[in-house]
């Protein structure tokens, strides 16, 4: 990409699983997916797509996997700011949150890792790091609000 900086060992590493937002919900999977979607939408994220990976894999490969949904969401301010930095950054959007079950427990897991941190940490953006750092900070604030609302409203949603 023109104007990209090259990654070096001195660069900040790409986001890790430990940096991801993760919570568990004690509600049925089929209720958790629209609940998590709604909490994103209430924070002005637009739903681009909801994909059931388990159904796709079963339908295309004939294999059963644990229930997993991808919520592909995009926030207009994040999108605007990303393409203002560099139009090619649109290829790193939108944000994705996974909702899944595991055999290890009875909870529904909700997991999100920052696409904007990946843009920054993988060296996908031009060298103007202040703009990218601002984008990462804004995304972090928005997703923190989403996460706080998911955790705060989960009990009420489960009891509906």
The reported pLDDT for the residue numbered 110 is: 95
pLDDT level of residue 6 (50, 70, 90 thresholds): very low
Q: Is the dihedral of CA 112, 105, 63, 37 positive or negative?
A: negative
More confident residue, 119 or 44: 44
pLDDT score for 12: 47
Q: 61 vs 126, which has greater pLDDT?
A: 61
Q: Is 2's pLDDT higher than 50?
A: no
For residues 13 and 32, the model is more confident at 32
Give the number of other Cβ atoms within 10 Å of residue 65's Cβ. Answer: 14
Residue 52 has pLDDT above 60, yes or no: yes
Q: At what angle do helices 129-158 and 76-85 cross, to 10 degrees?
A: 160
Query: Mean pLDDT score of the chain, rounded to an integer?
Result: 85
Q: Looking at residue 20, what is its pLDDT?
A: 81
41 pLDDT higher than 80: yes
Domain ranges of the chain: 19-158
Cα–Cα dist 137/81, whole Å = 12
What strands, in cross-sheet order, belong to the sheet with 95-101?
A: 21-25, 108-112, 95-101, 68-74, 46-52
Q: What is the CATH number of domain 19-158?
A: 3.30.310.70
Query: Model confidence at 115, in pLDDT bands (50, 70, 90)?
Result: confident
Average pLDDT rounded to a whole number, residues 118-136: 82
Residue 71 and residue 75: Cα distance in Å, rounded?
Answer: 13
Cα–Cα separations (whole angstroms), residue 3 to 106, 130, 132, 136: 47, 15, 14, 19
């Amino acid at each position: 990409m023109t104007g990209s900086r090259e990654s070096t060992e001195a660069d900040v590493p790409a986001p890790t699983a430990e940096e991801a937002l993760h919570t568990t919900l004690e509600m049925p999977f089929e209720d958790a997916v629209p609940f998590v979607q709604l909490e994103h939408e209430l924070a002005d994220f637009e739903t681009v797509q909801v994909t059931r990976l388990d159904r796709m894999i079963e339908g295309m490969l004939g294999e059963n996997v644990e229930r997993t949904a991808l919520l592909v969401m995009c926030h207009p301010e994040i999108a605007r700011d990303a393409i203002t930095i560099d139009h090619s950054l649109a290829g790193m959007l939108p944000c994705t949150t996974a909702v899944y079950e595991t055999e290890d427990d009875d909870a529904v897991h909700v997991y999100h890792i920052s696409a904007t941190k990946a843009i920054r940490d993988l060296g996908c953006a031009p060298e103007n790091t202040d703009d990218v750092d601002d984008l990462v900070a804004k995304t972090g604030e928005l997703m923190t609000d989403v996460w706080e609302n998911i955790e705060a409203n989960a009990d009420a949603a489960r009891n509906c």
